[in-house]
């Protein structure tokens, strides 16, 4: 081995990998919209509430809600003490330049928060743009449309509803045009049917969805107002509303009589306040028939404060029992039947539309950036948005709640389009009915979906995203995807989404590139706005409106589709101006030099803070080939706030060994160093979609077809490879609480994935999964093994325990032994030699029993380990620096999991 890859060189935290191995996209090589609620428009500035200081502390302040107190005490939440460099001591990092970089980044983070809050109040508001932007049904028989395009000088909607006319329903300066921040606003009034009269009241509202027939009882507005006055208001409570001066005149007459003084001389001397108050109090006691509440202001020479106002208990309880008279107003709101009888929807359900811009460089038609459903035309050249507003009886109704992960995270990574056996693009419905039950049966508790967000180029695997708020129409409708997520929840599976906020498609007809005619709307201008190798566009993370778009996109998928978490794809592409294509040595200077994008780091911090504050059970996973320090540390301690980060070193290490090193020359020490060097909060896997896409082979294909490994025949003439089983088992049992498997690899899928493209004549031959192999030969044995491994973790919580403790790692014998809690894991990687009496050390004396053996015949093994050898008792012989040892039988190329079932006290 003359050369050694980078992942085997530097044991120091944090070691790194070159991102060049992480492939780029392949191209060329249920309710009414919440916007019905009145909300502020983007771009408007808001004041802050201030607590004026007082010499006396307020009394009887209401306690904070229990949920809010718990959230502030969550580790890493904003309630913790903030230390911008707090995680450095925990990780043992002492680098003055990096510490100063973290302090500077924290200052910039505070400035960015101030910018956001000056526009959107808080992170919740900044991440709720989908409630206002895009197309939404309004309560007043109309549709509101809002779009951000600061470079345009004229904006309108064109589509089937107005015969694609650019002059109707337009928004321009002076006519519901754009604000100072470039947000365009368009109102589309519903069309009045022939013979119908407009509504009598301009504020007439309609209930389109919830109880959509309620209000169609024809109650007159005058009758409603009369009932409100008689039933809600007490006698005399609303008299003062009739005249602003009536109460003033009445008080004047009480003090001075009907013919009061007209000048100051006639007025004379006014009694002091205490005297006037005593006279008024005596009058109140005499007038026992008064029904108005008696509020007294206690003047004890302290500054006035609302907490100094007291009242008698009866009046207070009466006031508290009152509810706002909304019920009367809601009753006046008409229902869906009345709306359909009087109006024709301005844009019917499933109508096509686009947004039209007039720019300094000419006219443009674009798919709206906040569109929730996008289709391409018959020729596949131009796309258009689809107005998705199904009638209430067709709206998908959620049946199941969100499940919670207990213990470890066992993720089944899937791509809907290639999930079927046929040579075609599979659908959401097919995935729901066929694949989801298999995932549950296989023992996984999470499904991670890639390629879900709308993308024009299918061969890009879904990573060249064009429309960030739309599910891919080639798989089905938005309601089809909701059903997929709902059924997954019903099976106890959490649903994770592979989200691509590190770059975007450069398509100018469908995507965000040159959206408003300018080159710097969503993306950087110049070279920085283009990925160095992949031809994609790079977001401008220092722009408040871009942050508004990206944060809202994350919140949209959680709110609209009940997504349980995200894997942030290819963070190294966004964290560095060289897009991660640089040689990393692990030196701290590489994480704080001029090539680091501080704005991208700040965005990730804000994204994690927003997601975990609004959705406490959310799961966020970072995919970063450079292992940026602090990925999974709390944001209050200088970290980025992720729950897990992907250990990309592991699959690269296995691939390098399989392709370049003879099996007999594998180094056990180097393998274990990569597996456990970054164990905490690490998601590990043997291979995901990367290892079998973009011209590469799956591991099963390498082992079964290369001819470099010793293989044996099993039933049906298929070949078995025990090596793949022990590779999967050791990767799983050393992971840091999370493990991932790509669709089909649980039964050792023999073929790679190849999406249809020009190089293969757009063939679907390898763009599917061969599910028929589940019941055949080696593939059946391997699936049974994988299922039992997942069940073992479900029952014993193996990978959610502490980090592995390595007792034995011998390059000569090729044997590895380590413990994790009460479990002992023994691996014999030797392809030729079996050991009948092999001693390994253990700390705890007792009886150890085999609970999993890769060499069993039901897994396609030889069954060399007999049932009488499944229970072993320790002896007091010191081995591997441990007080006790076990004498084990180790078949070649096999692994066993022992559990301490009985402790012996000496």
Which carries the bigger pLDDT value, residue 689 or residue 457?
457
Angle at which helix 668-676 crosses helix 649-660, to 10 degrees, equals 160
pLDDT in tens, 11-22: 333 333 334 334
- Which range is least confidently modeled, 268-272, 305-309, 394-398, 798-802? 305-309
What pLDDT is attached to residue 447?
98
Asked if 786 and 442 touch (Cβ cutoff 8 Å), the reply is yes
Check whether 428 has a pLDDT greater than 90. yes
Rounded average pLDDT over 193-201: 89
Q: How confident is the model at residue 177 (pLDDT cuts 50, 70, 90)?
A: confident
Model confidence, pTM: 0.82
Q: E strands of 141-207, at which residues?
A: 142-148, 154-159, 170-171, 183-189, 191-192
What pLDDT is attached to residue 593?
93
What pLDDT is attached to residue 2?
37
> C-alpha 80: how far from its chain's center?
23
Angle at which helix 598-614 crosses helix 544-561, to 10 degrees, equals 30
665 is catalytic: no
Check whether 25 has a pLDDT greater than 50. no
Check whether 797 has a pLDDT greater than 50. yes
Q: How far is residue 537's CA from residue 535's CA, in Å, rounded to a whole number?
A: 7
Cα 210 to Cα 15, 131, 398, 566: the distances in Å are 55, 18, 15, 31
Please list, in sequence order, all residues whose beta carbon lies within 8 angstroms of the beta carbon of residue 103, skipping any fewer than 6 positions away: 84, 85
Give alpha helix (H) positions in 322-465.
326-332, 336-342, 428-430, 436-441
> C-alpha 530: how far from its chain's center?
25
Rounded average pLDDT over 811-822: 95
Widest distance between CA atoms in the chain: 120
Give alpha helix (H) positions in 172-322.
221-231, 246-256, 264-267, 273-286, 313-321
Which carries the bigger pLDDT value, residue 36 or residue 403?
403
pLDDT in tens, 603-647: 999 999 999 999 999 999 999 999 999 999 999 999 999 999 999
pLDDT in tens, 98-112: 999 999 999 999 999
* Residue corresponding to tokens 């005490």: 73
Rounded average pLDDT over 286-291: 56
Which carries the bigger pLDDT value, residue 61 or residue 130?
130
Check whether 23 has a pLDDT greater than 50. no
Check whether 683 has a pLDDT greater than 90. yes
What pLDDT is attached to residue 66?
36
Q: Tokens in use for 851?
A: 């609970």
What pLDDT is attached to residue 16?
36
Which carries the bigger pLDDT value, residue 206 or residue 906?
206
The H-or-E segment that residue 309 falls in is strand 309-311
**3-class SS string, 756-797:** CCHHHCCCCCCCCCCHHHHHCHHHHHHHHHHHHHHHHHHHHC
Catalytic residue among 131, 413, 487, 623: 623
Q: How confident is the model at residue 348 (pLDDT cuts 50, 70, 90)?
A: very high
- Which range is least confidently modeled, 156-170, 201-215, 475-489, 759-773? 201-215
What pLDDT is attached to residue 35?
38
What's the DSSP call for residue 522? S
What pLDDT is attached to residue 808?
93
Q: Are strands 295-297 and 191-192 parallel, antiparallel or unpaired?
A: unpaired
User: Could you tell me how many residues make up the chain?
Assistant: 906
Percent of the chain with pLDDT over 70: 83
CB under 8 Å, gap of 24 or more: what pairs does 5-10 form?
5/652, 5/653, 5/656, 6/583, 6/584, 7/649, 7/652, 7/653, 7/656, 7/674, 8/653, 8/670, 8/673, 8/674, 10/585, 10/586
Q: DSSP states of 714-760 as a string? A: -GGG-EE-HHHHHHHHHHHHTSSSEEEEETTGGGT--S------GGG
Closest CA to 363 of 519, 166, 597: 166
Q: How far apart are the first and last CA of the chain?
A: 48
CB under 8 Å, gap of 24 or more: what pairs does 762-766 form?
763/423, 764/423, 764/424, 764/425, 765/423
Rounded average pLDDT over 327-346: 85
Q: How far is residue 291's CA from residue 235's CA, in Å, rounded to a whole number?
A: 8
Angle at which helix 96-120 crosses helix 544-561, to 10 degrees, equals 80
Q: How far is residue 441's CA from residue 483's CA, in Å, rounded to a whole number?
A: 19
Check whether 792 has a pLDDT greater than 70. yes
Q: Tokens in use for 397?
A: 């109704």
Cα 266 to Cα 253, 254, 263, 273, 331: the distances in Å are 15, 17, 5, 20, 55
What pLDDT is attached to residue 28?
38
């Amino acid at each position: 081995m003359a050369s050694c890859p980078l992942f085997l060189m530097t044991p120091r935290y944090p070691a790194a990998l070159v991102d060049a191995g992480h492939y780029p996209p392949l191209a060329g090589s249920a309710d009414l919209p919440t916007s019905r609620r009145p909300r502020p428009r983007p771009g408007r500035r808001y004041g802050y509430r201030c607590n004026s200081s007082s010499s006396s502390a307020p009394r009887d302040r209401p306690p904070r809600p229990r949920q809010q107190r718990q959230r502030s005490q969550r580790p890493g939440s904003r309630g913790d003490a903030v230390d911008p460099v707090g995680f450095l001591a925990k990780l043992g990092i002492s680098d003055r330049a990096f510490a100063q970089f973290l302090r500077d980044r924290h200052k910039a983070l505070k400035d960015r928060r101030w910018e956001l809050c000056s526009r959107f109040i808080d992170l919740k508001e900044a991440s709720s743009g989908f409630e206002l932007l895009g197309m939404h049904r309004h309560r007043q028989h109309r549709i509101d449309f809002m779009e951000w395009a600061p470079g345009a000088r004229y904006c309108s909607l064109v589509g089937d509803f107005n015969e694609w006319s650019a002059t109707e329903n337009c928004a321009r300066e002076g006519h519901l045009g754009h604000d100072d921040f470039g947000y365009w606003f368009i109102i589309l009034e519903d069309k009045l049917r022939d013979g119908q009269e407009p509504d009598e009241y301009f504020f007439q509202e309609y209930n389109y969805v919830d109880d959509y027939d309620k209000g169609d009882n024809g109650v007159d507005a005058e009758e409603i107002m009369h009932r409100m006055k008689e039933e809600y208001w007490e006698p005399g409570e609303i008299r003062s509303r009739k005249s602003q001066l009536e109460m003033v005149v009445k008080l004047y007459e009480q003090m001075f009589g009907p013919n009061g003084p007209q000048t100051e001389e006639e007025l004379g001397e006014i009694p002091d306040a205490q005297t006037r108050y005593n006279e008024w109090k005596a009058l109140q006691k005499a007038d026992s028939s008064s029904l108005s509440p008696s509020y007294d202001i206690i003047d004890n020479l302290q500054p006035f404060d609302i907490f100094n106002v007291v009242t008698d208990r009866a009046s207070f309880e009466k006031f508290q029992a009152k509810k706002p008279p909304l019920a009367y107003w809601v009753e006046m709101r008409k229902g869906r039947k009345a709306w359909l009888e009087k109006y024709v929807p301005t844009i019917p359900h499933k109508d096509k539309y686009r947004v039209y811009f007039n720019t300094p460089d000419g006219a443009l038609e674009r798919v709206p950036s906040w569109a929730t459903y996008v289709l391409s035309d018959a020729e596949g050249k131009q796309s258009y948005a689809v107005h998705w507003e199904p009638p209430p009886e067709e709206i998908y109704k959620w049946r199941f709640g969100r499940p919670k992960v207990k213990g470890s995270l066992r993720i089944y990574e899937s791509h809907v389009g290639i999930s079927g056996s046929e040579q075609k693009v599979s659908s959401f419905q097919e995935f729901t009915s066929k694949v989801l039950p298999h995932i549950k049966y296989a023992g996984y508790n999470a499904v991670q979906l890639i390629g879900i967000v709308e993308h024009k180029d299918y061969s890009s695997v879904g990573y060249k995203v064009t429309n960030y708020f739309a599910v891919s129409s080639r798989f089905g409708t938005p309601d089809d995807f909701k059903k997929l997520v709902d059924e997954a929840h019903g099976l106890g599976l959490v649903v994770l989404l592979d989200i691509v906020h590190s770059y975007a498609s450069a398509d100018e007809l469908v995507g965000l590139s040159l959206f408003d005619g300018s080159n710097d709307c969503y993306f950087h201008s110049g070279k920085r706005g283009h990925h160095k190798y992949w031809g994609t566009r790079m977001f401008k993370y220092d722009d408040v409106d871009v942050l508004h778009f990206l944060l809202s996109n994350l919140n949209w998928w959680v709110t609209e589709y009940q997504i349980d978490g995200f894997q942030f794809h290819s963070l190294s592409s966004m964290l560095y101006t060289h897009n991660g294509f640089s040689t990393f040595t692990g030196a701290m200077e590489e994480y704080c030099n001029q090539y680091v994008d501080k704005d991208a780091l700040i965005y990730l911090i804000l994204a994690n803070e927003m997601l975990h504050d609004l959705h406490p059970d959310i799961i966020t996973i970072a995919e970063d080939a450079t292992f940026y320090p602090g990925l999974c540390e709390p944001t209050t301690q200088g970290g980025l706030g992720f729950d897990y980060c992907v250990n990309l070193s592991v699959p690269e290490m296995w691939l390098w060994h399989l392709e370049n090193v003879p099996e007999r020359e594998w180094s056990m020490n180097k393998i274990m160093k990569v597996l456990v060097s970054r164990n905490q909060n690490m998601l590990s896997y043997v291979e995901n979609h990367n290892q079998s896409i973009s011209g590469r082979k799956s591991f099963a294909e390498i082992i079964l077809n290369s001819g470099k490994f010793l293989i044996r025949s099993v039933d049906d003439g298929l070949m078995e490879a025990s090596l793949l089983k022990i590779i999967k088992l050791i990767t799983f049992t050393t992971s840091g609480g999370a493990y991932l498997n790509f669709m089909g690899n649980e039964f050792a899928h023999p073929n790679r994935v190849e999406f249809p493209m020009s190089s293969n004549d757009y063939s679907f031959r390898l763009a599917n999964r061969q599910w028929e192999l589940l019941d055949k030969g080696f593939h059946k044995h391997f699936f049974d093994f994988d299922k039992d491994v997942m069940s073992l973790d479900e029952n014993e919580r193996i990978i959610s325990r502490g980090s592995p403790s390595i007792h034995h790692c011998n390059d000569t014998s090729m044997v590895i032994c380590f413990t994790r809690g009460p479990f002992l894991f023994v691996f014999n990687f030797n392809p030729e030699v079996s050991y009948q009496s092999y001693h390994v050390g253990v700390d705890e004396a007792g009886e150890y029993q085999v609970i999993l053996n890769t060499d069993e015949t039901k897994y396609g093994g030889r069954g060399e380990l007999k049932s009488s050898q499944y229970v072993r008792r320790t002896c007091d012989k010191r081995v591997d620096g441990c007080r006790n040892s076990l004498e084990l039988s180790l078949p070649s190329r096999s692994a066993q999991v022992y559990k301490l079932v009985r402790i012996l006290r000496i």
